[in-house]
Structure 1
Amino acid sequence: MSRSALLVLADGRFPAGGHAHSGGVEAAVASGGVHDTASLEAFCRGRLHTAGLTAAGLAAAAATGHDALALDEAADIRTPVPALRHVARRLGRQMMRAARATWPCAGLDHLARHRPRGAHQPVVLGVAARAAGLSPLDAAHAAVYESVGGPAAAAVRLLSLDPFDATAVLARLTGDLDEVAGAAADAAARVATAGVGVLPAASAPLLDITGEQHAAWTVRLFAS
């Protein structure tokens, strides 16, 4: 296990395309739901415990070596909105390119061969984490951090927030991040005996609705 590999995987500069996506915060800013540091923190906490938890469970399960194709189908079921499924697979393609160049392995090759249009990003993340020698808990940590780090970074651009304040939001969420990553990893550990149905399937209906609306905008700063 390499903590340095985890830092590489979770680094916002890892060329997996996440910088072009706001994680729903662009739509939230447009509606007035996110307008300052406090509302950004509330948004990030809600996203962490819903979409973040679900993504972390999938990533952790993929990092255990469980069938990535079955997990990709489980991810489809947990992503009911077509626009967000498209985003997840687009990000998965970009993550796959970066991961195969960084940690080439048979698992990534197999997934790329069977999902040429892209697997869901959390599944690719988990397979990449396994290839990098990371644990399922590490994969879950990378997924949960991404679930809030992207929106926080996007909010700095969208609202001209002080970057120090946005970083402080992430710092205040560290306890929640650890809790959610741990719960996701615990669920992933039961997949081998209980099936993918034990993985988290937390929903965020407002994120689903605004995600579909955002995809129809003709002018936007972020892809999602």
Structure 2
Amino acid sequence: MTLPAPLLLLADSRLPAGGHAHSGGLEPAAGTGAVTDLPSLAAFLHGRLATAGLVTAALSAAACALAAGTANGPASAGGGAGAGHEGWTVLDAEADARMPSPAGRRASRAQGRSLLRAVRGMSPHPVLDALGAFPAPHHPLVLGAAVAVAGGSPAEAASIGAYGAVTGPASAAVRLLGLDPLAVHRVLAELASQVDAVAAEAAASAGGDPEALPAASAPALDVLAELHLQADLRLFES
């Protein structure tokens, strides 16, 4: 099966949506000495994928289902091409509930705002206009809506969300720690089957009640996000 080019664009780190400014917690993890080399990077990415990555993938899949009008439960209200405020408000609240760290929520909304600006410029659509009514929608919601607008499925939205959960921090590790890019990509290749598994788990919940979406916690990432916000010197926003 050929993946549509618009979906490849959404998965491309070169999409001008501000992702290069966020490390996904890698910068504060490196600052505390938790990530210093390839083995510790692999452990960090594995943990992030199973927690924040799963949540991101599930929210992205649910947003895609809502935008396409295939969701069930409270968030389905107003779904489809004209997905309305109520459905997005419910899903936005569920995203908030899964991000205990204020710094983490701020980073997600900043990335969502940047991604929305980018995808509205590429493919204007009423669904994206509905999200534009929010001052700063969460990143996974914008990603899922953009996948739906591009003709993708919740499963594809989950895959892109899970993939981005590890590639962003991996790229940051190359810049922050001076790791060999080829070796870092080998780490990502070794995570590929886990990325697929997380995406499949996330997609399975896409059409149900948003309250039942995965809510895997990552206390260490939440603490790191808050420490990062207080740091005197930062190369990344998160």
Paired AA for residue 205 in structure 1 = P
Q: For 2:47, what is the secondary structure of its paired residue?
A: helix
**Matching residue of 1:124:** 142
Post-superposition offset of 1:30? 1.0
Q: Percent identity?
A: 50
Partner residue of 2:219 out of 187, 205, 210? 205
Structure-1 separation of matches of 2:98 and 2:38: 29
Bigger helix fraction: 1
**Matching residue of 2:234:** 220
**CA deviation vs aligned residue, 1:88-129 (integer Å, no higher than 9, x gap):** 11111001000111121101101111x12x011001100111
Structure-2 separation of matches of 1:90 and 1:31: 24
Structure-2 separation of matches of 1:221 and 1:2: 34
**Matching residue of 1:88:** 108
Partner residue of 2:170 out of 147, 152, 156? 152
Post-superposition offset of 1:2? 4.5
Post-superposition offset of 1:32? 1.1
Paired AA for residue 35 in structure 1 = T
How many residue pairs align between the two structures? 218
8 A contact 1:2–1:133 mirrored in 2: no
Normalised to the residue count of structure 1, the TM-score between the two structures is 0.95
Structure-2 separation of matches of 1:100 and 1:68: 17
Give me the CA root mean square deviation: 1.1
Normalised to the residue count of structure 2, the TM-score between the two structures is 0.89
**CA deviation vs aligned residue, 1:154-184 (integer Å, no higher than 9, x gap):** 0001110000011111100000000000000
1:176 aligns with 2:176: no
Paired AA for residue 215 in structure 2 = A
Structure-2 separation of matches of 1:53 and 1:132: 22
Structure-1 separation of matches of 2:95 and 2:202: 14
Structure 2: which 5+ runs fail to align?
67-75, 77-86
**Matching residue of 1:49:** 50
**CA deviation vs aligned residue, 1:117-150 (integer Å, no higher than 9, x gap):** x011001100111011111011001111110001
**Matching residue of 2:180:** 162
**Matching residue of 2:23:** 22
**Matching residue of 2:83:** none
Partner residue of 1:112 out of 132, 141, 145? 132
Paired AA for residue 112 in structure 2 = G
Paired AA for residue 132 in structure 1 = A
Structure-2 separation of matches of 1:152 and 1:2: 24
Q: For 1:104, what is the secondary structure of its paired residue?
A: coil
Post-superposition offset of 1:5? 1.9
Structure-2 separation of matches of 1:43 and 1:120: 23
**Matching residue of 2:62:** 61
Structure-2 separation of matches of 1:37 and 1:112: 39
Q: For 2:113, what is the secondary structure of its paired residue?
A: helix
8 A contact 1:22–1:222 mirrored in 2: yes
Structure-1 separation of matches of 2:6 and 2:17: 15
Worse-matched range after superposition: 41-50 or 2-11: 2-11
